[in-house]
Amino acid sequence: MKYSKKERQRLLKQTIEDNPFVTDDQLASKFIVSVQTIRLDRMELSIPELRERIKDVAAHNFENEVKSLPIDEIIGEIIDIDLDERALSIFDVKEEHVFQRNGIARGHHLFAQANSLAVAVIDDDLALTVKSELLYTRPVHAEDRVIAKAIVTGKDDARDRTFVEVTSTVEGSTVFVGKFEMYRTKGKGGKNENSN
């Protein structure tokens, strides 16, 4: 369907508000226009490019600091976190992350994104992976954007454990699921009197 410029810009703004992580390429496909047209629309609407939108979302959502590891050691870019509850990160797959022969992403990159997110979501100064169960559901390729969502599914304070499930998707399709058993210390951050 062809939209008037005014209608396209209205829908473009709404689409980006609903999903700040949508790319210019995806918007161009959705509205059947060139990427350049989308960029011009964004400029007219004062909507920043994707990288800036991601930083903006992160700035608004980081109510707590990651305690368990330095932020620059996380694989991917954290865009939302609520310690001991949930976290979200994105990882853009580039040529250096894939096998040259077939263009499929090496599995350890998906694992590293998920595992570092499972560590980051723990509200403690120390969090280590004790055990993981992994399922790769379909290949990921160069230029794919992987969105990983970590959810804390339970705690065992007697054994200093937190259980985290991470689901990674590309364009809404699940590509990886990891279940992580994490060790945490019983320090200030690790003790949670309200935990199950």
pLDDT tops 80 at residue 53: no
Q: In which domain, by residue range, is 144 found?
A: 64-184
pLDDT given at position 187: 46
Say how far apart CA 135 and CA 158 lie, in whole Å. Answer: 28
Say how far apart CA 45 and CA 9 lie, in whole Å. Answer: 8
In sequence order, what are the beta bridge partners of 151?
86, 165
pLDDT given at position 196: 38
pLDDT given at position 56: 65
Q: How many domains does the chain have?
A: 2
**pTM value?**
0.67
CATH number at residue 107: 3.10.129.10
Same domain, residue pair 172 and 75: yes
On whether residue 49 sits in a domain, the answer given is: yes
Nearest alpha carbon to residue 176 among 184, 165, 186: 165
On whether residue 158 sits in a domain, the answer given is: yes
Same domain, residue pair 86 and 125: yes
- Residue-wise pLDDT for 134-151, tens only, equals 999 999 999 999 999 999
Indicate the pLDDT class of residue 59, thresholds 50, 70 and 90.
Answer: low
On whether residue 196 sits in a domain, the answer given is: no
Same domain, residue pair 139 and 75: yes
Structure tokens given for 4: 């008037």
Average pLDDT value for the chain: 85
Say how far apart CA 60 and CA 11 lie, in whole Å. Answer: 24
On whether residue 164 sits in a domain, the answer given is: yes
Same domain, residue pair 82 and 34: no
Same domain, residue pair 129 and 45: no
On whether residue 170 sits in a domain, the answer given is: yes
Same domain, residue pair 109 and 127: yes
On whether residue 109 sits in a domain, the answer given is: yes
27 sits in which H/E element = helix 24-31
On whether residue 118 sits in a domain, the answer given is: yes
Same domain, residue pair 98 and 22: no
Same domain, residue pair 34 and 91: no
pLDDT tops 80 at residue 84: yes
CATH number at residue 13: 1.10.10.10
- Distance between first and last Cα of the chain: 51
On whether residue 191 sits in a domain, the answer given is: no
| Percent residues over pLDDT 70 in the chain | 84
pLDDT given at position 68: 67
Same domain, residue pair 93 and 169: yes
pLDDT given at position 60: 53
> Which of 34, 56, 78 delimits the end of a domain?
56
Phi, psi of 99 (to 5 degrees): -70, 130
